[in-house]
Amino acid sequence: MVLSSTTSHEVTNMTQTIQREPAFLRRRQVQTRTGLSRSTIYQYIKDGVFPKPVPLGPRAVGWLESDVSEWIAARVKIARAGGRQST
């Protein structure tokens, strides 16, 4: 069976679509995925160019995996178009 990813939320094959549950990424996972430092992530959030984290508890936050993936895809699109997004 061949699977292909259609979005960050679903996986499809010839007969069915399986919805994936939303997943949270912790800050270190976001840093690993984006290549950004902690201070840059929070500066980008302050500037309104990076997704805001979701409170998970009194002292814990996480980012929706789909939000981070969409941000990465948008940055790739900008880079491949030869443009720059001001930060």
Domain ranges, residue 65: 22-80
pLDDT of residue 12: 57
Q: How many domains does the chain have?
A: 1
Strand, coil or helix: 71: helix
Nearest to 30 by CA among 69, 59, 56: 69
Whole-model pTM? Answer: 0.72
8: Cβ contacts below 8 Å, ≥ 6 apart: 20, 65, 66, 69, 70
The answer to whether residue 38 is domain-embedded is: yes
Higher pLDDT, 29 or 6: 29
Give the separation between CA 63 and CA 58, rounded to whole angstroms.
15
Task: Give pLDDT tens digits for 17-44.
Answer: 566 789 999 999 999 999 999 999 999 9
* pLDDT one-digit tens code per residue, 49-71: 999 999 999 999 999 999 999 99
What's the pLDDT at 13?
A: 58
Would residue 37 count as lying in a domain?
Answer: yes
